[in-house]
Structure 1
Amino acid sequence: MTSSLTFADSIEIAAAPEAVYAVVSDVTRTGEWSPVCRACWWDEGDGPHVGAHFTGRNETPDRTWETRSEVVVADPGRAFGWAVNDRRVFWTYAIEPIDGGSRLTESWEFTARGQEFAIEKFGPDAVAPRERMAREGIPVTLAAIKAVVERG
């Protein structure tokens, strides 16, 4: 692998950027919108700030696993992002104000190093399913976040 795989998608939400940020930066709520991540919890005393750590529990029909993440972006009302498992994968929510609310963009980056790790651990067919999960999951996640935020 010589380059990262990336994917991003956006949705408009009828809420101020600060309200959207308050939801997406609360990783303990991730199970409400993610099709794969069922739960997240902060390390004791941590919260949504750069350098904070949290654990996530993921489930697919084939397996259940946990990841360790570090917050790498925490800019209230603008962006929240984290690196997974020693910076092998990055997830970011970028928020921009628009007429009537916010545009939320979710981005995924599967680094070359992350791809190499997945292939070593799970075999040569390990990358494509992860890319498919991101491409299929991000629009589902964004729609669910929109519903959560707009519900209040």
Structure 2
Amino acid sequence: MSNLNYADSIVVASGADDLYDMVADVTRTGEWSPICKACWWDEGSSARVGDWFTGRNVLPARTWETRSEVVAADRGREFAFVVGGSYVRWGYTFTALGEGTRVTESWEFLPAGLALFAEKYGADAPEQISERTRAARDGIPVTLAAIKRAAESA
């Protein structure tokens, strides 16, 4: 399989630190994600490397929860987490520009995630992986546009 990663960017009229603070507050994810409707931190956790949170995802046909570990937390530069600790990496980078910040959202299916899907779905794994890949490719531009709207209307 190929193309198991994707990234897109948008320029937002806001500072890198402020945008980082928005995105790293995963309890706000439901404000901009088309699929992840709510997130909450484990007790005592926040946006530090090694901290965990749960996300609730909703599609018309199903609702499910995932647990994710923060793997990058560099204020104003990068925030990233890995679903299940090893399955799929989602990340945000922040690049200060003259009049705003370029926010880049990235997604990557990791080897452990591919192995999990092969075990869980068997012969249907390629289609399941394709479905998740399409959702990420379709969702990232929607998410970035919503982050831009939220930041610029604050």
Instruction: Give yes or no for TM over 0.5.
Output: yes
Provide the secondary structure at the position in 2 that maps to 1:24: helix
Deviates further, 61-70 or 136-145: 61-70
State the Cα distance separating 1:53 from its structure 2 match. Answer: 0.6
Give the superposition deviation at 1:117.
1.2
In the TM superposition, residue 119 of structure 1 has moved relative to its aligned partner by: 3.2
Deviation at 1:87, TM superposition (A): 1.1
Q: Which moved more, 1:4-13 or 1:118-127?
A: 118-127
What letter matches 1:73 in structure 2?
A
**Pairwise mapping of residues 127-138 of structure 1 onto structure 2 (< 5 A)?**
127-138=129-140
CA deviation string 1:6-40 (max 9, x = no partner): 10000000001011001000000000000000100
Counterparts of 2:152 and 2:131, CA distance in 1: 31
Task: State the partner residue of 1:70.
Answer: 69
**Residue 90 of structure 2: aligned partner:** 91
CA distance in 2, matches of 1:112, 1:45: 30
Offset from partner CA, 1:105-138 (integer Å, 9 cap, x none):
0000111221231233233321100000000000
Judging by fraction of residues, say which structure has more helix. 2
| Partner secondary structure for residue 49 of structure 1 | coil
> Where in structure 2 are the equivalents of 1:80-119 lying within 5 Å?
80-119=79-118
Spell out structure 1 runs of 4+ moving beyond 6 A.
none
Q: Deviations over 1:54-93 (max 9, x none)?
A: 0000011121110000100000010100010131000000
Q: For 2:119 and 2:149, how far apart are their aligned partners in 1?
A: 38
The whole-number CA distance in structure 2 between the counterparts of 1:149 and 1:111 is 30
Q: How many residues align?
A: 151
Unaligned runs of 5+ in 1: none
SS in 2 for 1:126: helix
Comparing 121-130 and 13-22, the one that deviates more: 121-130
TM-score when scaled to structure 2?
0.94
TM-score (norm. length: structure 1): 0.95
Taking the aligned partners of 1:95 and 1:127, their CA distance within structure 2 comes to: 28
Partner-residue secondary structure (3-state), 1:66:
strand
Contact 1:43/1:54 (<8 A) preserved:
yes
Query: Shift of residue 4 of structure 1?
Result: 7.4
Residue in 1 aligned with 2:141?
139
Cα RMSD, aligned residues only: 1.3
